[in-house]
Amino acid sequence: MRRTLILLSAFFLSAVGAKAGVWETNCAGCHNGVVAPTKSSLLSKFHTKREFMAKVREMVTQGKMPPGLSYGKAARELFGAKGAVHHSGKGLKKRVAAHKATKVASASDPYAKYKKFFKPLPALPPIPADNSLTPEKVKLGKMLYYDPRLSRSKLISCNTCHNIALGGDDNQKTSLGDHWKTGGRNAPTTLNSGFLKVQFWDGRAPTLEEQAKGPLQAHVEMNSTPEIVVRRLKAIPEYVKLFKKAFPGEKDPITFENVVKAIAAFERTLNTPNSPFQRYLLGDTNALTKEQKEGMALFVKYGCTACHNGPVLSDGRFHRLKWNNDTGRYRVTKNPADKYKFRTPQLLNVAVTAPYFHDGSVNSLKKAVKIMAEKELGKKLTDDEAKKIADFLRSLTGEVPLEARVLPQLPGNNPR
Amino acid sequence: MRRTLILLSAFFLSAVGAKAGVWETNCAGCHNGVVAPTKSSLLSKFHTKREFMAKVREMVTQGKMPPGLSYGKAARELFGAKGAVHHSGKGLKKRVAAHKATKVASASDPYAKYKKFFKPLPALPPIPADNSLTPEKVKLGKMLYYDPRLSRSKLISCNTCHNIALGGDDNQKTSLGDHWKTGGRNAPTTLNSGFLKVQFWDGRAPTLEEQAKGPLQAHVEMNSTPEIVVRRLKAIPEYVKLFKKAFPGEKDPITFENVVKAIAAFERTLNTPNSPFQRYLLGDTNALTKEQKEGMALFVKYGCTACHNGPVLSDGRFHRLKWNNDTGRYRVTKNPADKYKFRTPQLLNVAVTAPYFHDGSVNSLKKAVKIMAEKELGKKLTDDEAKKIADFLRSLTGEVPLEARVLPQLPGNNPR
C-alpha cells in the first residue's frame, strides 16, 4: 500500500522531462528512438532508479552500451535523487492495476518481485550441432570421465579434480596433478558447466569439448597425450565396442576428438535444476528461508546480478578483478584491456565448491561475498548483509542426477 | 555308465585294507576313530585318490593336519596307483543309486561334479558383534569411503586406490599416495573383502576396522592422523549429525574408532554375488562357457583349490611365494617359518584387478596362472590349460551393488 502511494505521488509530483545535463550530453545522441529507446520510453519501462541501473549494468557488462558514461548521474536526472518513480501519462490506469494485481499475487511473499532478475535452469544446456547428445555417447563419456587410465599415471581421472561427490570440483586451492604438481588456478565445477558461454577462468576454451583437451594434456594435471589416450582405449575391447556404438558409421571411432566429444556430452548432463532456489523460481514460495529471500533481495539491490545473471548466474563475460599477479584473460588475448579480467564464475552449487576465487585463497563464502561487493561494486557490506547473501547462495545447491552419480563398472585392462 | 562300471568293479577287485606301510607308520596313530576318522571311514567317504588328496591339502593348509607326512604315498596305498575307487560293503546299493541319480541330474553338464569344491558367496560376510551393520552406519561409511578430506592432502579417498569403478582397486603396480609416493605392495580389492579372514597381503590386520586405520595414516598413502580426521569431520555440521545417527547414544561419536567402524560397515556391503560363476554354482548350468567349465575342472584337478577355496576362493591362510625380496608375513611375526609367506588373495573379480601378485609385476591373468601353477604346485601348464583357467577366473567377475556405486553428495566444508 505504501509503495502504491509512492508510485502515484511520484507520478503527480514529477515532470516527465529532467533538466538537460548528463542525459543530453552523454545519452540523448543514441537514445533517439532509432539506435536506442528514447528517454520517455525508458521512463515508461523502468519505474525506479534501481531497476534502471540494474539494466544499465547488465547492458554495459554485455558490451551493449559503452562504459564510463556517468550512468549514475544520468539516472539521478531521470528519476531524481531519491530514485522516485516516473510515469508517462499513457496507460497509467492499466499499469497501476497491473501493479496492484502483482501485489495481491505475491502478498504472501514480498520478495517475489526479485524473481524476475533470475532465470530457472533449463533441463539441458545448448547442444552443439556436431556433437549430438545420444544415450550411447553419454554412457561412454561417463566411463571416460571416471576412468583414471586416461591420465599418464593411470591415477587421475576427470573426477579426481571435478569430483561429482564434492560439488564437481576438488577441495584444493589449486588442483594437485601428475607427480603432485599444483595447477595455477582453482578448479571450477563441471556441474552445469554446459551453460557457461566460455570455459576456464580466462575463457580460453569456447566449448566443453575444447576444455576437456586441456587437463588431459596439461603437465600439472593428467599429463597425457592424445596418443596415450587413444592407444590405451584401443587396447580395451569393451571400449572399442562402446566407441562404435557412440560414433556409428565412423571407420576408426577411437580418436582424441571423439574422446572429448563423449566427455563433453556426459558433462552436459551434469545439471542441478532442483535446488531450493530453482524450486522457488518455479513457484514454491516456501523453498527459501526468510534469510535467503532477504539475501536474494540484497543480491539484486546491490547489483550482483549485473554480472551474476542468467540461468547459472554468470554472464559468461570477463570482468576485472585485480587480486594477485594473475593477469587472467590478458594471458590469452595479450590485449592490455583484458589485464586481470576473469570470466564471471557461475554460482550454482557455490556453497559446496569452496575455496573461492581463481586462486582458491578464500574459504568462507561470507568473506568471498564481502570481497566481491567491495572490489566489484564498491560496497562495504555489513556482516549481517553478507551472511544473508551467503545464505541465499546456499539455496543454489542442487542435486546431481542419479544416473551421473552411479559409478560405471569399467572394463579391466589385463591382456588375455 | 563307464564310471559306474569302474566304481562297481573297483569295489569287487579291491580289498578294504591296504598293505601296511606309510599309512601304518605316519597316519594310523591319529586315525584311530577318536582323534581322526579311521581308514575304512575315510574310504567310505572319499571315492577317488584325487578327492582324498584335495581334502588332505585343504586340511594341511588349514593347519588341521601336520605337513610333510608323505600323503601321496599314503593315498597310493589306500586307493592304488591309479587312484581306483574303494568302498566298504555297507550301504553300497544306496551309494550306487545316489551316484546314478547324480549322473542323471547332471547329465547335461559333465562338469557339475566340480561344484562341490566351491561355495556360493553369502549375501553378507560375518559381522562383528561390536560393529552392527545399520543402514545409518553404512550410509556414513560410504560418505567417508568416498571423501578425500580424510587424507592430509584432501585429494586421496579410500576410493582413490580402492576404486569401485575399477574392481575395487587401482591400476597401479603399487599405489601412488601422498606426495606421489609409491606404496610397497599392490592394493587388494575391497570388493568381498569382508569374507577374508585377515586383511593385507601379510595379514597384519585381523579385521576391516583395523585395516582401515592403515592407509589412512600411512605416509605413502593418505598420510593422515586420527587428529586430522576427527578435527575435519567435526568441522562439518552434516557429519556431526550423521555420526550421531550412526552411533546413537554416544556422547562424542566422532572418533577415529567410529570412522573406521563406519568404513568397515560400508565395505561389508561391497559384495558381488552375481557373477556368472556364482550363478553357475546356484544351478544355472549355462552361466559358464565350455572353456570356463574346462578351466574350472583344471583348477580343481591341479589343486588350486587347496589354497583358493571358500566363498571368495581364499583360505585366508599364509603360503610361501618367494618372488622378490619382500619377506611378507615374516615382517609381521619375525618368525623365520613365515618368511616369504603371503595370505592367499581372493579371486573374485580377479579379471578386473590386474596387475597381479603382491608387487603388481604381472599384467596378464594367464601368465599369473602359469606362474602360480609352477611355483606353488610344481605344474607346468600348457598355454591352452592356462588360457582355460584364466577364462574360468573371468567368470568370477560380479556386479557391485548399485547403492554402493551411487556417489554420495558430500557436504561442503566452507565455514559459515
User: For A195-229, how does the pLDDT look when each residue is reduced to its tens digit (9 = 90+)?
Assistant: 999 999 999 999 999 999 999 999 999 999 999 99
Q: Kindly state the average pLDDT of the residues B101-117.
A: 77
Catalytic residue among A51, A58, A221, A267: A221
Confidence of residue A89 (pLDDT cuts 50, 70, 90): low
Q: Is residue A109 part of a domain?
A: no
Span B171-216, pLDDT tens digits: 899 999 999 999 999 999 999 999 999 999 999 999 999 999 999 9
Contact across the interface for A165 and B147, Cβ inside 8 Å: yes
Q: Which domain holds residue B318?
A: 274-394
- My answer on whether A43 and A73 are in the same domain is yes
Contact A330, A338 (CB under 8 A): yes
- My answer on whether B144 and B236 are in the same domain is yes
- My answer on whether B225 and B296 are in the same domain is no
Task: Give the domain-ending residue among A271, A290, A312.
Answer: A271
Q: Is residue A175 part of a domain?
A: yes
* Closest residue in chain A to residue B363, using alpha carbons only: A414
Among the partner-chain residues A176, A387, A409, the one whose CB lies closest to the CB of B400 is A409
Residue B283 CB-density burial (10 A; 0-12 exposed, 13-18 middle, 19+ buried)? exposed
Confidence of residue B140 (pLDDT cuts 50, 70, 90): very high
Contact across the interface for B416 and A363, Cβ inside 8 Å: no
pLDDT given for residue A45 in this prediction: 81
Among the partner-chain residues B165, B176, B415, the one whose CB lies closest to the CB of A153 is B176
Q: Is residue B322 part of a domain?
A: yes
Report how many domains make up chain A: 3
A32-36, A378-382, B264-268: segment of lowest average pLDDT? A32-36
Q: Kindly state the average pLDDT of the residues B131-156.
A: 97
For the cut 60, the answer to whether the pLDDT of residue B287 exceeds it is yes
* Domain containing residue A163: CATH number: 1.10.760.10
- My answer on whether B267 and B293 are in the same domain is no
Q: Is residue B113 part of a domain?
A: no
- My answer on whether A258 and A297 are in the same domain is no
Average pLDDT over chain A, rounded to an integer: 88
Task: Give the domain-ending residue among B83, B99, B118.
Answer: B83
- How far apart are the C-alpha atoms of A201 and A358, rounded to whole Å? 7
Active site residue B257: no
For the cut 90, the answer to whether the pLDDT of residue A102 exceeds it is no
Give A354's contacts in chain B (Cβ within 8 Å).
412-414
Most B-contacting residue of A143, A162, A171 (CB-CB within 10 A), to test interface: A171
* Closest residue in chain B to residue A350, using alpha carbons only: B412
pLDDT given for residue B27 in this prediction: 78
Average pLDDT over chain B, rounded to an integer: 88
Cα–Cα nearest to A302, from A144, A117, A122, A151: A117
Contact B298, B388 (CB under 8 A): yes
pLDDT given for residue B107 in this prediction: 61
DSSP B68-119: -S-HHHHHHHHHTTTT-----STTHHHHHHHHHHHHHHTTT-TTGGGGGGS-
- My answer on whether A243 and A281 are in the same domain is no
Q: Is residue B89 part of a domain?
A: no
- How far apart are the C-alpha atoms of A381 and A391, rounded to whole Å? 14
- My answer on whether B243 and B370 are in the same domain is no
Tally: H helices and E strands in chain B:
18, 2
Contact A217, A223 (CB under 8 A): yes
For the cut 50, the answer to whether the pLDDT of residue A194 exceeds it is yes
- My answer on whether B264 and B292 are in the same domain is no
- My answer on whether A286 and A342 are in the same domain is yes
pLDDT given for residue A55 in this prediction: 84
Q: Is residue A229 part of a domain?
A: yes
- My answer on whether A292 and A334 are in the same domain is yes
Q: Is residue A128 part of a domain?
A: no
Contact B255, B247 (CB under 8 A): no
Among the partner-chain residues A148, A351, A355, the one whose CB lies closest to the CB of B171 is A148
Span B333-364, pLDDT tens digits: 999 999 999 999 999 999 999 999 999 999 99
Most B-contacting residue of A222, A409, A413 (CB-CB within 10 A), to test interface: A409
A11-20, A254-263, A302-311, B238-247: segment of lowest average pLDDT? A11-20
Cα–Cα nearest to B295, from B375, B380, B390, B368: B390
Cβ of residue A383 closer than 8 Å to a chain B Cβ: no
- My answer on whether A389 and A284 are in the same domain is yes
Span A283-298, pLDDT tens digits: 999 999 999 999 999 9
Rounded to two decimals, what is the model's pTM? 0.75
ipTM for the whole complex: 0.73
For the cut 50, the answer to whether the pLDDT of residue A8 exceeds it is no
- My answer on whether B261 and B281 are in the same domain is no
Residue with more model confidence, A103 or A229: A229
Calculate how close chain B gets to A264, using CA atoms only, in Å: 20
Task: Tell how strand A341-343 and strand A318-320 pair up.
Answer: antiparallel
Residues 162-201 in B contacting A (C-alpha not used; CB under 8 Å): 163-167, 170-172, 176, 179-180
Q: Is residue B416 part of a domain?
A: no
Cβ of residue B12 closer than 8 Å to a chain A Cβ: no
Task: Give the domain-ending residue among B218, B247, B271.
Answer: B271
Give the end-to-end CA distance of chain B in Å, rounded to a whole number: 79
DSSP 3-state percent helix, strand, coil across chain A (nearest 5):
50, 5, 50
